[in-house]
Amino acid sequence: MNKGAVLELIMVGMDIYSIIRKKVATTAANTIDYREVNVFELSQEAMNRMIHRLIDNAKDAIEDVNNNKNDEFYEGKKAAYYEMLDSLKNDLKIEDADIKEFGLDIDLDAMITD
């Protein structure tokens, strides 16, 4: 995968993070401010699927780092996935959402250092 494709993937991940974060916040308040949410709403199933995909991609990024020691590109890719997942997990906790339901009941710090 070339650097441009990875940067695009990270940008898509950040967009997904933004959509999920807004969806969690509006669901917790039982109101939806359509100025704050993208044109479409995500179902719980869609949110879970995207978060699990981010987790799988993070695991792949860790494997890439292990296979390409001392390569800053792969280290950055791993760090980007960690930041997205950590931010999502923290936002879900703030909203009193069940992180287990989203597959984020994992130790991200331990995962990233393996």
Per-residue pLDDT tens for 35-50?
Answer: 454 434 567 777 788 8
Residue 34 scores a pLDDT above 50: no
81 Cβ contact partners less than 8 Å away, ≥ 6 residues apart = 13, 54, 57, 58, 61
The answer to whether 65 and 80 are in contact (CB under 8 A) is no
Helix/strand/coil for 34: coil
Is 0.85 surpassed by the pTM of this model? no
Range with the largest mean pLDDT of 16-25, 30-39, 82-91: 82-91
pLDDT-derived band of residue 62, with 50, 70 and 90 as boundaries? very high
Domain spans of the chain?
A: 3-113
Of 3-7, 24-28, 33-37, 108-112, the range with the highest mean pLDDT is 108-112
How far from 79 is each of 25, 35, 57, 58, 103, CA to CA, in Å?
Answer: 25, 31, 12, 9, 19
Report the mean per-residue pLDDT for the chain: 74
Half-sphere exposure of 66 (CA within 13 A, CB side): 10
Q: Residue 56 contacts by C-beta under 8 Å, 6 or more apart in sequence? A: none
Q: Who wins on pLDDT, 13 or 60? A: 60
Write down the pLDDT at residue 99. Answer: 86
Nearest Cα neighbor of 102 from 47, 27, 28, 53 is 47
Q: Residues 74, 68: contact at Cβ < 8 Å?
A: yes
